[in-house]
A = this chain, B = another copy of it.
Amino acid sequence: MKTDQEGAVRSDALLSSWKQTPTRQAIVDYVDRALQEGGAEYVPPSERVAVFDNDGTLWCEKPMPPELGFILQRLAEMAEQDPSLRTRQPWQAARDKDYAWLGDVITKHYHGDDSDVRVLMGGILQAFAGMSVDAYAEIADRFLRTTPHPTLGRQLWRCTYLPMVELLRYLEANGFTTYIASGGDRDFMRPVTEELYGIPAERIIGTTAGLRYQDDDTGGSVVYQAEMEVFDDGPTKPVRIWSRVGRRPVVAGGNSNGDIQMLRYAGQPSRPGLRLLVLHDDEEREFNYTAGAETSLEQARAQDWTVVSIKNDWATVFADEV
Residue numbers of A with Cβ under 8 A of B are 46, 133, 177, 186-187, 190, 200-202, 204, 208, 211-213, 215, 218-220, 222, 235-239, 242-247, 261, 264-269, 273
Given contacts A244-B244, A264-B219, contact A211 B190 (CB under 8 A): no
Most chain B CB neighbours (cut-off 10 Å) among A46, A187, A236, A246: A246
A-B pairs with lowest CB-CB distance, top 8? A201-B246, A213-B235, A213-B238, A222-B242, A211-B239, A219-B268, A190-B246, A202-B245
Given contacts A202-B245, A239-B211, contact A219 B46 (CB under 8 A): no
* Pair B218/A265 contact, Cβ less than 8 Å: no
Task: Name the B residues within 8 Å of A244 (CB-CB).
Answer: 202, 244
Copies in the complex: 2
* Pair A219/B133 contact, Cβ less than 8 Å: no
Q: List 24 A-B contacts (CB under 8 A).
A: A46-B200, A133-B242, A186-B243, A200-B246, A201-B245, A201-B246, A201-B247, A202-B245, A202-B246, A211-B239, A211-B243, A212-B239, A213-B236, A213-B238, A213-B261, A213-B265, A215-B235, A215-B264, A218-B268, A219-B265, A219-B269, A220-B265, A222-B239, A222-B242
Task: Name the B residues within 8 Å of A265 (CB-CB).
Answer: 213, 219-220, 222
Task: Name the B residues within 8 Å of A215 (CB-CB).
Answer: 235, 261, 264
Known: A46-B200, A208-B243. 8 other contacts (CB 8 A): A177-B202, A201-B247, A204-B246, A211-B242, A211-B243, A213-B235, A219-B273, A222-B239
Task: Name the B residues within 8 Å of A46 (CB-CB).
Answer: 200
Residue of B with least CB distance to A235: B213
Task: Name the B residues within 8 Å of A239 (CB-CB).
Answer: 211-213, 222
* Complex-state Cα separation, A190 to B215, whole angstroms: 30
Task: Name the B residues within 8 Å of A246 (CB-CB).
Answer: 187, 190, 200-202, 204
Task: Name the B residues within 8 Å of A242 (CB-CB).
Answer: 133, 211, 222
CB distance from A218 to the nearest CB of B (A): 5
* Pair A264/B220 contact, Cβ less than 8 Å: yes
Task: Name the B residues within 8 Å of A245 (CB-CB).
Answer: 201-202
* Pair B208/A261 contact, Cβ less than 8 Å: no
Given contacts A46-B200, A202-B247, A244-B202, contact A235 B219 (CB under 8 A): no
Residue of B with least CB distance to A236: B213
Task: Name the B residues within 8 Å of A237 (CB-CB).
Answer: 213
CB distance from A135 to the nearest CB of B (A): 13
Residue of B with least CB distance to A266: B219
CB distance from A1 to the nearest CB of B (A): 26
